[in-house]
Amino acid sequence: MSMWLLYALLSMVCAGCVSVIAKMGLVGVTANVGLTVRTLFVAFFVLLFAALVVPWRDFAQLRGPNWLWLGVSGFATALSWLFYYKALKLGDVANVALIDKGSVVVAMVLAALFLGEAITPRMGLGCLIIVMGLLVIAWK
C-alpha cells in the first residue's frame, strides 16, 4: 500500500471520529465556544508535533509564496470550521459530515482549474455519484 493511501485512510477514520466527538463536546455550549476550545487543542498538538519531529532547518525553506498560500489555506480552514461547527450544532452528524465531504468535488474541480490536474472519466463519475448521494441525503 502506498504511504499516501495509508495516510489518507487514517485521515478518513480520524475525521469520521472528529465529527461524532465534536457533537458530543458541543452539548451545552455554543458552536463558537466549542470551535475555539477545539482549535486551541489542535494548535497545541500541532506545535508539540513540530517541536518534537520537524527539524528547525526545514522552516528556513519557507518563502513568501509559501506563507501567502498557507495563510490563505489557514483562512479557508477557519471559515470551513466555523461553518462546520455551526452546522454540527444544529444538524445531525451524518448529514453534516456527508455534505461537508462534498468538498471532494469542489477540491477536484479547483485542482483541475488551478493546478492542471486531470479529471478522468472515472473521477467524473465518482463526483457525480457523490453529488447524487448528497442530494439523496439532503432531500426530505
Q: Measuring CA to CA, which residue among 57, 134, 53, 47 is closest to residue 94?
A: 134
Q: Looking at residue 12, what is its pLDDT?
A: 85
Write down the residue that cell numbers 498557507 correspond to.
Answer: 70
Same-domain status, 74 and 27: yes
Please state, in angstroms and rounded to a whole number, the distance separating the CA atoms of residues 97 and 20.
9
pLDDT in tens, 41-72: 999 999 999 999 999 999 999 999 999 999 99
pTM: 0.82
Same domain, 59 and 77: yes
Q: Say whether both 67 and 16 belong to one domain.
A: yes
| 21 and 88 together in one domain | yes
Judgement on whether residues 15 and 84 belong to the same structural domain of the protein: yes
Domain region containing 15: 3-93
Cα–Cα distance, 15 to 8 (Å, whole number): 10
Task: Give residue 117's identity as a one-letter amino acid code.
Answer: E
**Tally of structural domains, the chain:** 2
Same structural domain for residues 88 and 106?
no
Question: pLDDT digits over 66-85, tens only?
Answer: 999 999 999 999 999 999 99
